[in-house]
Amino acid sequence: MRVVQDTQVDNSTPRVLYSDGSLLNSGTLEVSQAFGVVDLTQDNPLTVQGRTDGHASSAKAELMGLLATVLSAPPEQDIVVKLDNQSVVEQVDVVWVKGHSNIHGNELADQAAKVAAQSGSVPWMVDLTQQTDITTFAHCYGGIVEIDLRQLLKQQSTIRHHQAWTSQRRVKRAIPDIEDVEWNSTLAYVHNRHAVFTSFYSNSKDSHQRTHHTKKLHGMLPTLNSMQARKPNLYPTCVCRRCELEKEDNDHVWKCPLAAETTTEIWKEAMGKINEWGVQATNSYNAARKREYKRTVDSGRQVPRPVPIHWWPPSDADHVRRFSSIGGARAVHSGSPAPDRDEKPMWNVSDLLRGITPLSMLTEWSAVFRTPMSIAKTVLHKFVGYLEAQASELIWKPRCSATIAWEQTQGIFAKNKTSNYTGPRSGCSQGYGYITRGDFWPCGASLATHEDGTCPGTTKDSLATDERLLGSLLK
């Protein structure tokens, strides 16, 4: 760049510089943005090329190319910048040229941008400490804050709330691996599949359903062992009122022997809808790519016409191989016990019935469908959503009917259940009736913390939140 900056200034006519940007692999982890600048007055026409990162956008690559063009020219030189992105041209005083129309400078700039996008060069960065017109900088954990301070505070607040949520015992018990959850789909079930679960829409029915979904996700439904822990005077036993064999907790509800046949029917119905959902998702994907192609061409850029994606119905054997990592899935699918691929699977069918969408299952199904990840994500979202909705209707509600009928024979009515209980309660070994896994006591704390025979109580790690925020800022 300095070689061009130091060239002799000649303002008898403005110097013409060509700029272009390139965005490759958009929407994937391999996305790359780069730019190229060409000065035809030089013996070597290529002036500069480079990469940039951050939010992926073709307009951003073009703007970085424009910035590089201005920086590469001698400060006193009058210049005319020509590029082929009309949206960028409308924002700055430059001259638009039609892309891929045999304009030598533009073609060279386009080639330079593509070469840079495929190279391993270091992205351009702006060192704020070298700016003489800025006297004060905001710092966060020893680093300069280069984003909007309001955005930083909002991000910090969000992370702190999320950290507090993930550190709760009930969350650790009910969701064994938070990092392996596809949260967009999972939260959509919690919020009744509204288009955006950040909306303020609500009514009494919607609020009731959200409460049910939230309790189901966290393993906090009012099962009999939970009611016995809260009001031992009313519930002398917590045996399941359907099978009358095992104690009823939030795990047993979905694994009750009397619910096994229903679970199999729900599963097979959902599997029978996969091809329908796959065709719909594939058509929507192709239509979106076609619209994007049209917008790009209308803006003056020439890009290859997208090749339509086809939906290939997976075989039953393909499905069995891919969801065998979900504990109990193969047994439910075949209607008879079958060994799982993993000795200790991270997820079980009961977790899917509660509305949890595992990322690992999404990865495996994407390979089965041989489609882009977005199509597999849509199909899995509908699949788990169907399981979750049907489980509430066909498993939870019949359980409630059987339990209410038993409560009435015991003289337990709504008034009794809402009254305050002030009598003695059992110790932490009894717990509160929520999901308890092998490495936790019923109170929710780990086994290791009870080695001295005492319950540790609530623990909080104040530094964990700051570490997550710092990691987010450092990408």
Exposed, middle or buried, 329 (CB in 10 Å: 0-12/13-18/19+)? buried
Residue with the larger pLDDT of the pair 94 and 213: 213
**CA distance linking residue 99 with residue 107, whole number of Å:** 8
Residue with the larger pLDDT of the pair 151 and 448: 151
**CA distance linking residue 456 with residue 468, whole number of Å:** 25
pLDDT at res. 404: 94
Work out the average pLDDT over 56-76: 82
Note the maximum CA span of the chain: 101
Around Cβ 94, how many Cβ atoms within 10 Å?
A: 20
**CA distance linking residue 384 with residue 214, whole number of Å:** 16
Percentage with pLDDT > 90 across the chain: 23
**CA distance linking residue 179 with residue 52, whole number of Å:** 29
pLDDT at res. 446: 64
**CA distance linking residue 404 with residue 392, whole number of Å:** 16
Percentage with pLDDT > 70 across the chain: 80
pLDDT at res. 421: 77
pLDDT at res. 151: 80
Give the mean pLDDT of the chain: 81
Q: Look at residue 169 and tell me whether its pLDDT is greater than 90.
A: no
Split at pLDDT 50, 70, 90, the class of 445 is low
Distances (CA, A) of 320 to 46, 78, 330: 55, 68, 6
Q: What is the pTM of this model?
A: 0.65
Split at pLDDT 50, 70, 90, the class of 458 is very low
Split at pLDDT 50, 70, 90, the class of 210 is confident
**Which of the given ranges, 227-231, 295-299, 389-393, has the highest pLDDT on average?**
389-393
pLDDT at res. 271: 92
pLDDT at res. 461: 57
3-state DSSP assignment of residue 117: helix
Q: Which of 1-15, 175-189, 303-317 has the lowest mean pLDDT?
A: 1-15
**Which of the given ranges, 13-22, 39-48, 265-274, has the highest pLDDT on average?**
265-274
Q: Which of 348, 387, 383, 365 is nearest to 176 (CA)?
A: 348
Work out the average pLDDT over 424-440: 57
Residue 418 DSSP symbol: H
Domains of the chain: 2-125 (3.30.420.10), 168-451 (no CATH)
Query: Using an 8 Å Cβ cutoff, are 124 and 65 in contact?
Result: no
Split at pLDDT 50, 70, 90, the class of 102 is confident
**CA distance linking residue 221 with residue 350, whole number of Å:** 14
DSSP 158-170: HHHHHHHHHTSHH
H helix count then E strand count, the chain = 20, 9
**CA distance linking residue 33 with residue 23, whole number of Å:** 5
Cβ neighbours of residue 200 under 8 Å, at least 6 residues apart? none
Instruction: Give helix 359-369 / helix 373-391 axis angle, nearest 10°.
Output: 120
Split at pLDDT 50, 70, 90, the class of 259 is very high
Split at pLDDT 50, 70, 90, the class of 443 is low
Work out the average pLDDT over 195-202: 58
pLDDT at res. 199: 60
pLDDT tens digits, 307-347: 999 998 888 888 877 777 788 888 888 776 666 666 778 89
Work out the average pLDDT over 346-351: 90
Show the tokens assigned to 337: 């016990």
Show the tokens assigned to 283: 């058509």
DSSP 89-102: HTTTT-EE--TTSS
**CA distance linking residue 362 with residue 364, whole number of Å:** 5
**CA distance linking residue 135 with residue 129, whole number of Å:** 9
**CA distance linking residue 406 with residue 168, whole number of Å:** 33
pLDDT at res. 256: 93
- Where do the H-state alpha helices sit in 256-394? 260-272, 274-298, 316-322, 329-334, 349-353, 359-369, 373-391
